[in-house]
Amino acid sequence: MIKAAYLHIPFCEHICYYCDFNKVYLQGQPVDDYIQAIEQEMKLTLREFPSDKLETIFVGGGTPTSLNEQQLDRFCEGINKNLPKAADVEFTFEANPGDLSKEKLQILKDAGVNRISLGVQTFNDHLLTKIGRAHRAKDVYQTVDNIKSIGFDNISIDLIYSLPTQTLKDFEESLNEAFSLDLPHYSAYSLIIEPKTVFYNLLRKGKLPTPGEDIEARMYEVLMEKMESRGLHQYEISNFSKYGYESRHNLVYWNNESYYGFGAGAHSYVNGIRRSNIGPLKKYIDCINNEELPIRENHQVTPSEQMEEEMFLGLRKTAGVSISKFNEKFNRDPLELFSNEINELASKKWIEVNDDNIYLTKQGRLLGNEVFQMFLGVID
């Protein structure tokens, strides 16, 4: 059963120095043709892989709200016309502070969008400049006010820590500013420097002064402490919320469930096959115009890979992996299947096992990637 859909808008008015997502500068791009193509992809996909009701829809990018009012209205209309939605669907749009007018917000509200995710990253204006962001801290406050005034109450913001030249004090100040907004959901990620980004090129030249692993680890500890003290529970390594405001869409990924991916460069997981779409816009649009699904690569996930993914994706959640659900899904006991790995990690106090869950300890969350790698390529 397919529960979720992700739609990708690759257009940006500014390119951030750390971003490696499929994106292009907005100016001069065939935006209207792209909107038509992604609507056609929805039709082609649902014809081949139907679904009764989607529980979550997430529009990301790029910058989805870089579309003008008419384009945004048309895009939302295409979603509502082609994707079957559950009555209580979680419908999220990503946006940047400063480019989300009340007119655009009203279009989203009228289209049934009920969750907004803002890419804030930091409240330090100097750091915002250093990472290539166009907005400033004042834009965040104004944008959140606008979002609330239109009637949205499910609002999330993203933060990034371990930024170049960022100090622990800088990060704590950003957290305090974020808390002043009194939002129900916060995500915070450590900076990962990816190939083909501005930061990657600077790092190779020795011109990217990062805080270092020790400061990064301390930032993460402070993050967990401050979130807990504010009554925001950590339900995943990088995500914190008031109860009832967890991101249902992201939980689909971490629960290793099926989802559609629409748009240039989007990924999907349908009928046990992980697919990636064609990335370049012209090739994507041409493929759709030929009535073909724009698939760049297919990978049939083997039963062994499914079980390994169930472990390292599920361990991202603070609740961890349910032993009984794993048994029910695969007819295998994870405690037997991964006995060596679980015993080793438990001896290091990186994971714990209770009656029905295998989960990371607080120390284990600091070393999450090392834990996850233990479950790769284990099953013959």
From 218, 253, 288, the end of a domain falls on: 253
Residue 51, domain member (yes or no): yes
Residue 280, domain member (yes or no): no
In the structure, what pLDDT confidence band is assigned to residue 25 with cuts at 50, 70 and 90? confident
Do 368 and 335 touch, CB atoms closer than 8 A? no
User: What is the pLDDT at residue 164?
Assistant: 95
H-helix segments, the chain: 31-48, 69-82, 102-110, 125-130, 137-150, 168-180, 198-204, 213-229, 248-254, 281-289, 303-314, 323-330, 334-337, 339-347, 362-366, 368-373
Residue 247, domain member (yes or no): yes
From 220, 238, 253, the end of a domain falls on: 253
Segment 340-374, tens digit of pLDDT = 999 999 999 999 999 999 999 999 999 999 999 99
Q: Are residues 319 and 208 in the same domain?
A: no
Q: Are residues 110 and 23 in the same domain?
A: yes
DSSP 8-class letter at 317: B
Q: Are residues 155 and 233 in the same domain?
A: yes
Q: Are residues 352 and 235 in the same domain?
A: no
User: What is the pLDDT at residue 198?
Assistant: 86
DSSP 8-class letter at 207: -
Overall domain count for the chain: 2
From 214, 238, 253, the end of a domain falls on: 253
**How far is Cα 286 from Cα 36, in angstroms, rounded to an integer?**
12
Q: Are residues 323 and 210 in the same domain?
A: no
Segment 152-170, tens digit of pLDDT = 999 999 999 999 999 999 9
**How far is Cα 129 from Cα 196, in angstroms, rounded to an integer?**
20
Question: What mean pLDDT, rounded, does the chain reach?
Answer: 96
Segment 292-323, tens digit of pLDDT = 999 999 999 999 999 999 999 999 999 999 99
Q: What is the pTM of this model?
A: 0.96
Q: Are residues 65 and 210 in the same domain?
A: yes
Residue 296, domain member (yes or no): no
Q: Is the pLDDT of residue 16 over 90?
A: no
Do 234 and 316 touch, CB atoms closer than 8 A? no
DSSP H/E element including 87 = strand 85-95
**How far is Cα 98 from Cα 100, in angstroms, rounded to an integer?**
6
Residue 129, domain member (yes or no): yes
User: What is the pLDDT at residue 22?
Assistant: 77
Q: Taking residues 95-116, what's their average pLDDT?
A: 96
Core vs surface per residue 211-235: b (16+ CB within 10 A) or e: beeebbebbbeebbebbeeeebebb
Q: Taking residues 325-337, what's their average pLDDT?
A: 97
User: What is the pLDDT at residue 19?
Assistant: 84
Q: Are residues 243 and 310 in the same domain?
A: no
| CATH number, position 327 | 1.10.10.920
Residue 175's contacts (CB-CB under 8 Å, 6 or more residues apart) are 159, 222, 223, 226
Q: Are residues 309 and 194 in the same domain?
A: no
Residue 272, domain member (yes or no): no
Segment 181-234, tens digit of pLDDT = 999 999 999 998 889 888 888 888 988 898 999 999 999 999 999 999 999 999
User: What is the pLDDT at residue 20?
Assistant: 80
| CATH number, position 97 | 3.80.30.20
Q: Are residues 65 and 145 in the same domain?
A: yes
Domain with 239 in it = 2-253
In the structure, what pLDDT confidence band is assigned to residue 330 with cuts at 50, 70 and 90? very high
**Residue 94 β-bridge partners:** 117
DSSP H/E element including 6 = strand 2-9
